[in-house]
Amino acid sequence: MLPARCWPRRWSGAWPGRSGVGRQWQNLPVPPDTPIPSPTPPVPMPPTTITVNVPPQIIEIAQKSAVTWVTWLPLAASGLVLIGAMVTLYVSNRTNRAAIAAADDREWIKWRREQLVSISNEILTAAHQAGTRLRGFSLWGSEGEVQIVEINNEMAAIPDLARKLELIAGDAFSREVTAIHRSVALCWIFASENFKTVHQSGRVGMAQANTEMSEMTESVGQACRDFTASVRAELKSAGLGQNVTPPSADGTEPRSSEGSAPPPPEPEPESPAAEPE
């Protein structure tokens, strides 16, 4: 049975505005065997083609490409160039420092070699001149006192030169220089004590005095040869300038890089002053 809202209605009464009581719609019952009409199916429409004339347009397709990181290439290249320049500068500075240090070492070795040769030459010259003059002490006459004073002044230069040599080579040649000064001082003492009495001892006494003086001067020559050999060995050594460091700025003495220090030099004999006439 259909719902009440679907029942057919019948108009009863007059239209509104006319005389009489208006009738209303009344729901009439529908028999159950009444057929219900089916809905009308839609009529298919033929397809319609619509043509629209659109003017040509330029379509730009934006997509992610290498443009986003290509813009950083100049900055990355600049960074790489800067890093390479800094590394090159560091290596160059280190090489320059090493070259400057090597040049300083060569200058120090050269200066030390020159000073060593110069001071050694002065020491050998003073010893040779003093020994040569003392060898002929028996021939001195009235000028013997003058000879003694002059030779004493020549001998005084040897300790001064030895102190200069210590600044260059440390204690490497202290024993040889001390031996030279000792041997020359012994010759000077013997000559100053006997040059007045050698003429009074006769020919035999003079010959004996000359023999003793020759032995003493020979010791001077031997000491000079030992000193020369030591200096020559130092000059020929490959490590010249390495066993002794240059004096530092704080005034400390140069120290030898070898394990043990050389023994202290023997005390030098004091040169007696020349006696006035």
pLDDT of residue 65: 58
Q: Catalogue all structural domains in the chain, each as residue range(s) with its CATH number.
A: 97-236 (1.20.120)
Intra-chain end-to-end CA distance of the chain, in Å: 179
Q: Are 169 and 116 in contact (CB under 8 A)?
A: yes
pLDDT of residue 31: 67
Total length of the chain: 277
Residue 2, CA distances (Å) to 8, 28, 138 in order: 10, 11, 177
Mean of pLDDT values over 224-231: 93
pLDDT of residue 228: 93
Return the higher-pLDDT residue of 134 and 39.
134
Burial of 6 (0-12, 13-18, 19+ CB in 10 A): exposed
Mean of pLDDT values over 244-271: 39
Helix (H, G, I), strand (E, B) or coil at 9: strand
C-alpha closest to that of 185 among 264, 267, 118: 267
Residue appearing with tokens 């030779």: 151
pLDDT of residue 211: 85
pLDDT of residue 103: 85
pLDDT of residue 254: 38
| Helical ranges in the chain per DSSP H | 67-70, 73-135, 144-169, 174-194, 202-236
Query: Amino acid identity of 76?
Result: A
Summarised one tens digit per residue, pLDDT across range 91-117 is 888 888 888 888 888 888 888 889 999
Residue appearing with tokens 């729901």: 27
Q: How confident is the model at residue 167 (pLDDT cuts 50, 70, 90)?
A: confident
Whether pTM exceeds 0.85:
no
Query: Amino acid identity of 142?
Result: S
